[in-house]
Amino acid sequence: MIPSDMSSLASFLTSGYSLEVSVKAIPALITATPRIAPGTSIFIPYLAGEDNAARLAATTTVRGLGFEPVVHVPARRIASLEALESFLTRAANDAGIERCFVIAGDSPSPKGRFADSVSLIETGVFERSGIKHIGVGGHPEGHPVMSEAIRWQVLARKCHSIQIRGMSPLIVTQFSFDAELVLRWLQELRQRGIHHPVRVGVPGPASVATLARYAAMCGVSASASVWSRYGVSIGRLLAAPGPDGFVDRLANGLTEAHGDVSLHFFPFGGIAQTVEWMEVHRARGHSSPA
């Protein structure tokens, strides 16, 4: 969706956005359910200290709330193909899961025989389990171990591998504070002939300290100039800035050439705060003259 005015911006903000919700945050999601559109994609990350039973319970709850569960599958944390297939089969039977987000994962060494997402996708385990859509990572800010050329090659290979297996690729980017950088990355993505839907990662409202911590963990640029463009004031470090400036600049910079683009929220400051921000920003768009 390409916004051309404030009314269109309001629709862009709420049409097809998705949320990252950990197993521990499921109670908060339940509380916020009346304020979230039915069918919203809820990504469930794979976190240390949680077992498959907890992940399966979260997936089933998400489906029961009327949302679309999207399970993270980090290749390096998969002990065996059989264990993954068993989990996916249960998730399909119990929660009707059709979507996964497949990444290499941040583990320094593989737990099993899969070192990256491509090797896992190419096993055929996902289509055998009834998965119809697979998300893969996009990296506008770069990648810690891959050069730019290799990064583009790997992304193209992953999308091709998903397609030839009869599934639909989706690209989900790491969050960023720099809308212009993301727009340039989207433009290059399309110029390279990769035209699959993209969900752009957006940090939900959170304290500056929280945003800085996640940025450091994820290798996201947070220089003084980037902070300033994002809306962080050095004199207001205790504030909890929202992504107003980032989202507005992203939306205003999108053209037809950028293709199918929507938002994926990381609710670092909490689900309630992110949903409230969405409501306020949407209302601002609807109340502004076209």
pLDDT at 160: 97
CA 5 vs CA 17, 122, 154, 245, 259: distances in Å? 19, 43, 36, 15, 18
Where b means 16+ CB within 10 Å and e means fewer, 241-266 reads: bbbebbbbbbbebbeeebbebbbbbb
Can you give the pLDDT at residue 205? 87
Across the 290 residues of the chain, what is the mean pLDDT of every consecutive 10-residue run? Answer: 50 76 97 95 92 95 98 93 93 95 87 92 95 96 80 95 98 91 96 96 83 69 57 51 84 90 93 90 58
Domain ranges of the chain: 6-205+242-282
Q: What does the block give as tokens for 180? A: 């212009």
Evaluate whether 155 touches 195 at the Cβ level (below 8 Å): no
pLDDT at 141: 83
pLDDT at position 290 is 37
- As a whole number of angstroms, the distance between CA 256 and CA 270 comes to 33
Q: What is the per-residue pLDDT for 9?
A: 58
Domain 6-205+242-282 belongs to what topology?
TIM Barrel (3.20.20)
